[in-house]
């Protein structure tokens, strides 16, 4: 596809984003006493009754959910543009707008959680009105998370591989395992039996040959017998080829009408052909992106040096003359020498930014004015990047109002910059995708002017101090390191226990002790299942909904620093679900999608490592220090309920309560600017002390057993993977029979049945349901009692308790309404009798 195609998509996305941001900004700044209108313009006034408040909340949920879906569609289009666009200056703007839109998606997600009081939100009316499919509603993970860090990730993988070989955990040239005595005997027996069989066949051949010589047959009989044999062979071969052609035609017809999936060989051939056609263009674009980006950086440096050489001296003199004129003007008007603003206050820029004091050399460009307006909008809105904790046991507010957005000013600033710079720019003759020199010159001129202004400010402060000394005024020393806020930070700076060690040595130590682990590369899309087609309960999400919420809570904040800084902070997430539901696979998918370093603090993994209290302090210090230096990072704890269990089994030798007191402190020490996430997995969350568990984890995500649709999809996908598309097994029947099992159990069952020998026999002996059912019956399903235990546990989580209170209020309201209606009906009936 050409660059013009992606330019058209970009321009259309910018237009849609502008229209959406205007409505979103108006909704943010409307009156709190009115209900939030839907995008179609419906508004209503909140009455004092609870029924009107509930109706207001439903309107608010519909409005926010519509914005949420529109921003998702917009982000997907911008991600496609950013991945394929070549021009470096355009890509820089698209990247900033993409990060801002993704941040806005996460903000709206948190608003929906606070309204719906569950992690998964649904609104079928909005989806139907927007005419969106489940695939369009799923948020894509930006590909630049990994592609722009390819060299770093490759170096880290190579370092990990070398360390594992050095420790002896991996073999550089793996050798074949020696045969055991039993295997050697079986091999000898097999070859000996084959040798004896060949000898016997040769012996019988000689006997038949001698017997044939003794028979006296004529040439005619010999000829007739040869013709009959040839005719029989011909008959059998023609019948075989005809049946094969018929079967092939029938199979082609079934594939054409979609009744049978294509064979694996056909699918593989199609995918390879498509990848070959697409890979060439993608590789060419990515190479061109790197080439033009390198040219862009080189041109920026060259133009910056050119500006310094040509205009540096004149620029310094003009700024100095300007400041001296300001000092003289203040002295003539007031008779006193003014105080020079500190560097944190902006220096001389602060002077000339006041009304009526703007100078020729301090006028900001269009870009800098947008930045200042964006900063001003952010200062008005409360910060949302703090720790968003839904674990607060606050009373439910029916008239909930969404929090002010931090990302919306960024979106507006980027849209304004696009309108000022790119919308009316004539690019008819610009066939090359190289950077525009005039735009680089304007941007670098402002940067150089700011650098020289800071240097001149330091000189002017010294001159002003000398003047004040000569006049006799007491000099006030300006403190450059002024605090940004009047309150003193209560948080103590963490002491560095390893100040003299390099990050390489710390990394090697943690790898040696098994704290930093190598994980399998699993993509999030490999978690099988689609998004829900209709609204569901919060404790019964679809696999696609789970993928979406993990993308918004974990992957986006970890993958981009810009998104992390503007979205509500989530320090820890707990994944709860039955065994085989895919908790560990989701953990590996989170790490794979962002290229994170995985730290394993599972109680069974740290047994005997860093013993004693001092060792535990050193372990936590090393994990936090290395995770900050190697961001993004994921700290993992399996069996997350064990540190908080009330009673530890006597057979347990792992000392799981070792981290009980230090885990809450460890989570709090994850700073808001750190792209570090603590992830726990558990199959028995109700066995933990809920108070301690909720003090560690900010979010609780329940992964239930799959429903019929997800199970049927899993059977089709896994059977196709294991059997190569040869099996014609009825997956619908197997999905019904395996109801109650997890996808992990299905995968293990297929892995046990589909051995190498069984795969070779598929053409002659098709796979049957009985083979799979026999193996599946040997595994334990998810019983109803376990599901009820999970649902009961989730209702005791902070979000579950808030939702329970809300449902109780709704039920009381319905009972009151029915009582009032019954009372009115009885009154009308009495009047009729009278």
d(CA 246, CA 252): 10
d(CA 440, CA 302): 10
List the single range of 43-57, 252-266, 271-285, 354-368 with lowest mean pLDDT: 354-368
Render pLDDT for 163-178 as a digit per residue (tens, 0 to 9).
888 887 776 655 567 7
pLDDT at 472: 65
Asked if 111 and 64 count as a contact pair (C-beta separation under 8 A), the reply is yes
Asked if 587 and 546 count as a contact pair (C-beta separation under 8 A), the reply is no
Nearest residue to 439 (alpha-carbon basis) of 361, 366, 359 = 366
pLDDT at 246: 94
pLDDT at 288: 86
d(CA 554, CA 593): 10
Residue 699 has pLDDT above 60, yes or no: yes
pLDDT at 261: 73
Alpha-helix runs per DSSP H in 85-180: 88-116, 124-130, 134-137, 144-147, 150-167
Render pLDDT for 387-400 as a digit per residue (tens, 0 to 9).
555 555 444 444 56
pLDDT at 214: 60
Q: Is 490 exposed, middle or buried (0-12, 13-18, 19+ CB in 10 A)?
A: exposed
Measure the N-to-C terminal CA separation of the chain; round to a whole number of Å.
82
Give the torsion through C-alpha atoms of 219, 223, 229, 233, to 10 deg: 150
Render pLDDT for 198-219 as a digit per residue (tens, 0 to 9).
999 988 888 887 776 665 555 5
pLDDT at 77: 93
pLDDT at 361: 44
Question: How many C-beta atoms lie closer than 10 Å to residue 696's C-beta?
Answer: 24
Place of tokens 């101090």: 465
**Which DSSP string do the residues of 12-31 spell out, in sequence order?**
HHHHHHHHHHHHHHHHHTS-
Asked if 122 and 113 count as a contact pair (C-beta separation under 8 A), the reply is no
d(CA 332, CA 327): 9
What average pLDDT does range 405-428 have in this prediction? 87
SS3 for 716?
Answer: helix
pLDDT band for 363, please (50, 70, 90 cuts). Answer: very low
Q: How many CA atoms lie within 13 A of 393 on its CB side?
A: 6
Alpha-helix runs per DSSP H in 29-87: 50-84
Alpha-helix runs per DSSP H in 524-652: 543-550, 556-559, 561-566, 583-594, 612-629
What average pLDDT does range 497-506 have in this prediction? 87
DSSP designation for 336: S
pLDDT band for 834, please (50, 70, 90 cuts). Answer: low
d(CA 351, CA 319): 12
Render pLDDT for 610-637 as a digit per residue (tens, 0 to 9).
888 899 999 999 999 999 999 899 999 9
Render pLDDT for 96-135 as a digit per residue (tens, 0 to 9).
999 999 999 999 999 999 998 889 999 889 999 999 998 8
Nearest residue to 591 (alpha-carbon basis) of 641, 663, 517, 530 = 517
What average pLDDT does range 771-792 have in this prediction? 90
Residue 474 has pLDDT above 80, yes or no: no
What average pLDDT does range 301-315 have in this prediction? 89
Percent of the chain past pLDDT 70, that is, above it, reads 84
Mention every residue, 6+ apart, whose C-beta is less than 8 A from residue 415: 14, 17, 18, 21, 97
What average pLDDT does range 783-795 have in this prediction? 91
C-alpha distances out from residue 516 to 155, 511, 513, 602, Å: 16, 5, 8, 12
Predicted model pTM: 0.81
Which helix (H) or strand (E) segment holds residue 677: the answer is: strand 676-682
d(CA 677, CA 627): 9
pLDDT: is 604 or 831 the higher one?
604
Render pLDDT for 475-485 as a digit per residue (tens, 0 to 9).
555 444 444 33
Render pLDDT for 796-822 as a digit per residue (tens, 0 to 9).
999 989 888 888 888 888 888 888 888
pLDDT band for 51, please (50, 70, 90 cuts). Answer: low
d(CA 406, CA 367): 19
d(CA 118, CA 797): 11
Render pLDDT for 484-497 as a digit per residue (tens, 0 to 9).
334 444 455 667 78
Asked if 343 and 454 count as a contact pair (C-beta separation under 8 A), the reply is yes
Residue 548 has pLDDT above 90, yes or no: yes
Asked if 60 and 267 count as a contact pair (C-beta separation under 8 A), the reply is no
pLDDT band for 465, please (50, 70, 90 cuts). Answer: confident
Render pLDDT for 630-646 as a digit per residue (tens, 0 to 9).
989 999 998 899 999 88
Asked if 693 and 685 count as a contact pair (C-beta separation under 8 A), the reply is yes
Residue 725 has pLDDT above 70, yes or no: no
The overall average pLDDT reported for the chain is 82
Give the tokens for residue 363: 């006028």
pLDDT band for 703, please (50, 70, 90 cuts). Answer: very high
| Bond preceding residue 632 cis, omega within 30 of 0 | yes
Place of tokens 């933990």: 688
pLDDT at 165: 86
**Rounded to 5 degrees, what angle do the CA atoms 110, 95, 571 make?**
35
pLDDT at 357: 47
C-alpha gyration radius of the chain = 36
What average pLDDT does range 293-320 have in this prediction? 88
pLDDT at 358: 45
d(CA 76, CA 548): 13
pLDDT at 259: 83
Which helix (H) or strand (E) segment holds residue 253: the answer is: helix 219-256
Question: How many C-beta atoms lie closer than 10 Å to residue 86's C-beta?
Answer: 20
pLDDT at 374: 52
Residue 359 has pLDDT above 60, yes or no: no
d(CA 281, CA 112): 40
pLDDT band for 43, please (50, 70, 90 cuts). Answer: very low
């Amino acid at each position: 596809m050409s660059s013009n195609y992606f330019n058209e998509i970009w321009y259309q996305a910018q237009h849609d984003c502008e229209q959406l941001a205007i409505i979103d900004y108006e909704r943010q700044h409307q009156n709190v006493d009115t209900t939030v209108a839907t995008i179609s313009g419906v508004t209503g006034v909140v009455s004092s009754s609870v029924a009107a408040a509930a109706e207001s909340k439903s309107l608010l949920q519909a409005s926010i959910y519509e914005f949420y879906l529109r921003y998702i569609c917009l982000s997907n289009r911008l991600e496609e543009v950013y991945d394929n666009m070549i021009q470096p200056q355009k890509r820089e703007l698209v990247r900033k707008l993409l990060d801002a839109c993704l941040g806005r998606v996460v903000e709206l997600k948190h608003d929906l959680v606070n309204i719906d009081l569950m992690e998964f939100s649904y609104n079928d009316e909005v989806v139907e009105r927007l005419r969106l499919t489940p695939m369009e509603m799923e948020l894509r993970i930006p590909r630049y998370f990994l592609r722009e860090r390819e060299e770093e990730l490759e170096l880290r993988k190579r370092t990990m591989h070398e360390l594992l070989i050095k420790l002896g955990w991996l073999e550089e040239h793996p050798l074949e395992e020696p045969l055991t005595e039993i295997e050697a005997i079986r091999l000898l027996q097999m070859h000996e039996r084959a040798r004896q069989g060949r000898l016997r066949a040769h012996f019988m051949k000689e006997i038949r040959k001698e017997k044939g010589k003794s028979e006296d047959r004529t040439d005619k009989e010999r000829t007739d017998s040869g013709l009959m044999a040839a005719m029989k062979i011909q008959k059998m071969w023609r019948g075989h080829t005809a049946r094969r052609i018929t079967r092939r035609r029938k199979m082609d017809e079934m594939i054409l009408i979609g009744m049978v999936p294509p064979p694996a060989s056909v699918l593989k051939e199609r995918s390879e052909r498509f990848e070959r056609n697409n890979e060439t263009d993608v590789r060419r674009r990515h190479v061109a992106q790197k080439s033009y980006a390198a040219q862009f950086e080189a041109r920026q440096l060259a133009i910056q040096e050119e500006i310094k050489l040509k205009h540096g001296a004149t620029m310094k003199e003009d700024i100095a003359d300007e400041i001296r004129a300001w000092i003289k003007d203040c002295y003539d008007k007031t008779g006193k020498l003014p105080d020079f603003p500190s560097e944190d206050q902006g220096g001389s820029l602060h002077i000339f930014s006041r009304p009526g004091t703007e100078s020729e050399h301090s006028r900001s460009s269009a870009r800098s004015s947008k930045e200042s307006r964006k900063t001003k909008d952010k200062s008005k809105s409360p910060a949302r990047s703090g720790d968003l904790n839904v674990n607060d046991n606050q009373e439910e507010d029916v008239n909930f109002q969404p929090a002010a957005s931090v990302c919306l000013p960024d979106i507006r600033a980027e849209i304004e910059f696009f309108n000022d710079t790119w919308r009316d720019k004539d690019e008819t003759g610009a066939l090359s995708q190289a950077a525009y020199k005039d735009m680089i010159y304007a941007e670098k001129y402002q940067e150089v002017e700011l650098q020289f202004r800071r240097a001149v400010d330091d000189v002017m402060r010294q001159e002003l101090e000398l003047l004040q000394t000569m006049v006799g005024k007491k000099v006030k020393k300006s403190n450059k390191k002024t605090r940004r806020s009047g309150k003193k930070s209560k948080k103590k700076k963490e002491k560095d226990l390893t100040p003299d060690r390099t990050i390489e040595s710390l990394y090697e130590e943690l790898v040696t002790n098994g704290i930093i682990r190598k994980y399998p590369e699993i993509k999030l899309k490999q978690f099988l299942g689609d998004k829900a087609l209709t609204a569901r309960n919060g404790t019964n999400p679809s696999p696609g909904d789970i993928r979406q919420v993990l993308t918004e809570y974990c992957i986006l904040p970890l993958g981009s620093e810009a998104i992390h800084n503007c979205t509500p902070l989530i320090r820890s997430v707990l994944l709860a679900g039955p065994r085989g539901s895919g908790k560990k696979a989701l953990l590996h998918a989170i790490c794979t999608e962002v290229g994170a370093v995985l730290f394993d603090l599972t109680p069974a993994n740290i047994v005997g490592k860093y013993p004693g209290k001092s060792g535990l302090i050193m372990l936590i210090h090393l994990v936090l220090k290395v995770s900050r230096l190697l961001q993004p990072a994921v700290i993992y704890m399996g069996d997350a309920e064990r540190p908080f269990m009330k009673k530890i089994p006597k057979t347990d030798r792992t000392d799981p309560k070792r981290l009980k007191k230090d885990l809450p402190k460890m989570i709090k020490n994850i700073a808001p600017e750190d792209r570090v996430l603590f992830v726990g997995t558990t199959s028995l969350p109700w066995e933990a002390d809920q108070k301690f568990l909720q003090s560690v984890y900010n979010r609780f995500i329940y992964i239930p057993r799959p429903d019929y649709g997800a199970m049927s999809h899993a059977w089709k996908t896994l059977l196709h993977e294991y059997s190569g598309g040869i099996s014609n097994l009825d997956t619908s029947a197997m999905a019904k029979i395996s109801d109650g099992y997890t996808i992990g159990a299905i995968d293990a069952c297929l892995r046990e049945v589909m051995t190498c020998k069984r795969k070779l026999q598929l053409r002659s002996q098709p796979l049957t349901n009985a083979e799979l059912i026999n193996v599946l019956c040997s595994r334990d399903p998810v019983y109803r009692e376990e599901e009820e235990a999970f649902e009961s546990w989730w209702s005791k989580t902070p979000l579950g308790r808030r939702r329970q209170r809300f449902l109780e209020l709704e039920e009381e309201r319905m009972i009151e309404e029915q009582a009032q209606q019954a009372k009115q009906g009885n009154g009308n009936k009495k009047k009729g009798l009278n």
